[in-house]
């Protein structure tokens, strides 16, 4: 039986990998420009970390985790996100007591979701986390960082949606939550639900079954629902940012003010609540109109209670994660093609064993000079040059019987369609003198 890659996973083949390298380079360069340093954490963690960090009632923890028992009967989970792991690592290494820590990561996450365009079971994130500060300027800086990352990838027509979901003080989110539940109760058993809703549950007209459940456990999650009936009801619901306590309101105002100072365009969207329980105050998403239903390129926010949830001392934190597959999908869609680094030189030995030996020697010299080079190991000869464009070859070094006899190499410029003979000793000297632009030296032969 043919074995295939598991559903919802993808192979990244060599003709696609340059796009990944371009995105990863933009991610690293941008994060480092903003003062972030890389952190790497394990791909699997104790299941408890995510249950406590992300929250028992969330879709991720309830339905989407790849959880297994190892041979020592420990319950482990393939990480469905990386923020909880970063916080766990910092707490474990006692790094959270001092100054602000700014960290970034690039790596895979795993969620048992229904695969569709832009949604995978193994996907990859570039994320940043800043831990050790309540500063609203930091939230704004990270949104600015995300936009700089996308700018470097050539992505446009993006929008930044922000919101604040307040804090756990009783007069802030808990009070809002009570108001929201009252509103949902009042509005789901009425005609409104019948008019707009999908009436699959007569007891909860208007709200879908999932939301009827969320209304009790996690009412803010109703804002995430994509079903028309729920969307209609939620469009009239009380808004989080109108119910913030004074401190959270001031914090949100500062985030917005700083975004303006930084020249980042945004809109306040009360429907952004985010699907992970650890969020407090600022939440945001970067959306692209080139993606379909899964239009979030990036999501993040503040999580001032996460350290406490994981048993540490309370410390402010804020971050985002950007889906790499989704960034590449938008690049493909709008025709942004990152440069594919080629191998400029191919050596063709076309004179038997001796030519092959000479080719191996010259190949080493070319590579020593810093020029990426390849050799026709399978003796395909000139037929191989059909692949020049695909491989990015600019020069074919030909070593045949004549060249061997004369102590020469023939260099064919595959783009200019010109050919030159050069003595082997002279070629070696040229390569030795190559300095910072050894390929330029070969180009100069054809001026
Ligand atoms: P998230 O919104 O769950 O947040 O994921 C962030 C981004 O990862 C999404 O906007 C999307 O681009 C990508 N993503 C997530 N799941 C999938 C999937 N199944 N297939 C393809 N792409 C996906 C988090 O993960 C938080 N940890 C972000 C964060 C960091 N908040 C604070 N710090």
- pLDDT, tens digit (0-9, with 9 covering 90-100), for 19-59: 999 999 999 999 999 999 999 999 999 999 999 999 988 88
Query: How many angstroms is it from 323 CA to the middle of ligand 1?
Result: 6
Determine the pLDDT at residue 189: 62
Query: How many angstroms is it from 212 CA to the middle of ligand 1?
Result: 25
User: What is the average pLDDT across 62-85?
Assistant: 97
For a ligand 1 pocket test, name from 120, 123, 288 the mutation site with the most ligand atoms within 8 angstroms of its C-beta.
Answer: 123
Q: Does the pLDDT at position 198 exceed 70?
A: no
Q: Does the pLDDT at position 152 exceed 50?
A: yes
User: What is the average pLDDT across 178-194?
Assistant: 73
Determine the pLDDT at residue 192: 46
Which residue lies with its CA nearest to atom 18 of ligand 1?
A: 119
Q: Does the pLDDT at position 218 exceed 90?
A: no
Query: How many angstroms is it from 372 CA to the middle of ligand 1?
Result: 37
User: What is the average pLDDT across 300-318?
Assistant: 95
Determine the pLDDT at residue 19: 97
Burial readout 201-240 (b: 16 or more C-beta within 10 A, e: otherwise): beebbbbbeebbebbeebbbbbbbbebebbebbbeebebb
Q: Give ligand 1 pocket residues (Cβ under 6 A).
A: 81, 83, 111, 113, 118-120, 123, 125, 127, 129, 296-301, 303, 319-321, 323, 325-326
Query: How many angstroms is it from 299 CA to the middle of ligand 1?
Result: 6
* Sign of the torsion formed by the C-alpha atoms of 27, 32, 35 and 40: positive
Query: How many angstroms is it from 105 CA to the middle of ligand 1?
Result: 13
- What confidence category does residue 359 fall into, taking pLDDT thresholds of 50, 70 and 90? very high
Which residue lies with its CA nearest to atom 10 of ligand 1?
A: 298
Determine the pLDDT at residue 71: 97
For a ligand 1 pocket test, name from 7, 23, 81 the mutation site with the most ligand atoms within 8 angstroms of its C-beta.
Answer: 81
Query: How many angstroms is it from 382 CA to the middle of ligand 1?
Result: 49
Q: Does the pLDDT at position 203 exceed 80?
A: no
Closest atom of ligand 1 to CA, residue 285? 10
């Amino acid at each position: 039986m043919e074995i295939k890659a598991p559903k919802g996973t993808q192979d990244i083949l060599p003709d696609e990998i340059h796009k990944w390298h371009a995105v990863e380079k933009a991610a690293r360069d941008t994060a480092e420009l903003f003062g972030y340093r890389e952190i790497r954490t394990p791909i699997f963690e104790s299941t408890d970390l995510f249950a406590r960090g992300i929250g028992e009632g969330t879709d991720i923890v309830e339905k989407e985790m790849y959880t297994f028992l190892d041979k020592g009967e420990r319950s482990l989970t393939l990480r469905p996100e990386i923020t909880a792991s970063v916080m766990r690592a910092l707490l474990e290494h006692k790094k959270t007591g001092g100054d602000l820590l700014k960290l970034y990561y690039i790596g895979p996450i795993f969620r048992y979701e229904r695969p569709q365009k832009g949604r995978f079971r193994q996907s990859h994130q570039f994320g940043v986390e800043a831990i050790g500060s309540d500063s609203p300027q930091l939230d704004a800086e990270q949104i600015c960082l995300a936009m700089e990352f996308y700018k470097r990838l050539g992505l446009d027509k993006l929008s930044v949606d922000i919101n604040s979901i307040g804090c756990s003080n009783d007069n802030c989110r808990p009070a809002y939550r009570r108001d929201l539940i009252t509103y949902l109760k009042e509005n789901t058993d009425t005609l409104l639900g019948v008019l707009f809703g999908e009436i699959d549950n007569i007891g909860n007209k208007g709200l879908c079954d999932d939301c009827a459940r969320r209304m009790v456990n996690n009412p803010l999650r109703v804002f995430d629902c994509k079903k028309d009936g729920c969307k209609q009801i939620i469009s009239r619901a009380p808004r989080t940012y109108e119910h913030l306590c004074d401190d959270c309101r001031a914090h949100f105002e500062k985030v917005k003010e700083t975004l303006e100072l930084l020249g980042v365009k945004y809109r306040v969207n009360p429907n952004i609540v985010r699907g992970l329980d650890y969020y407090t105050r600022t939440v945001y998403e970067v959306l692209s109109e080139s993606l379909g239903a899964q239009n979030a390129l990036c999501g993040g926010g503040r999580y001032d209670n996460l350290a406490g949830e994981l048993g540490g001392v309370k410390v402010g934190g804020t971050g985002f994660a950007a889906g790499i597959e989704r960034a590449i999908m938008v690049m493909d869609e709008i025709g942004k093609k990152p440069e594919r680094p080629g191998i400029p030189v191919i050596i063709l030995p076309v004179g038997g064993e001796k030519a092959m030996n000479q080719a191996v020697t010259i190949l080493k010299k070319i590579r020593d000079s810093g020029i990426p080079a390849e050799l026709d190991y399978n003796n395909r000869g000139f037929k191989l040059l059909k692949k020049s464009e695909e491989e990015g070859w600019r020069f074919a070094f030909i070593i045949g019987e004549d060249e061997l006899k004369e102590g020469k190499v023939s260099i064919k410029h595959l783009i200019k369609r010109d050919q030159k003979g050069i003595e082997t000793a002279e070629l070696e000297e040229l390569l030795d003198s190559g300095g910072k632009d050894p390929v330029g030296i070969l180009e100069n032969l054809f001026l």
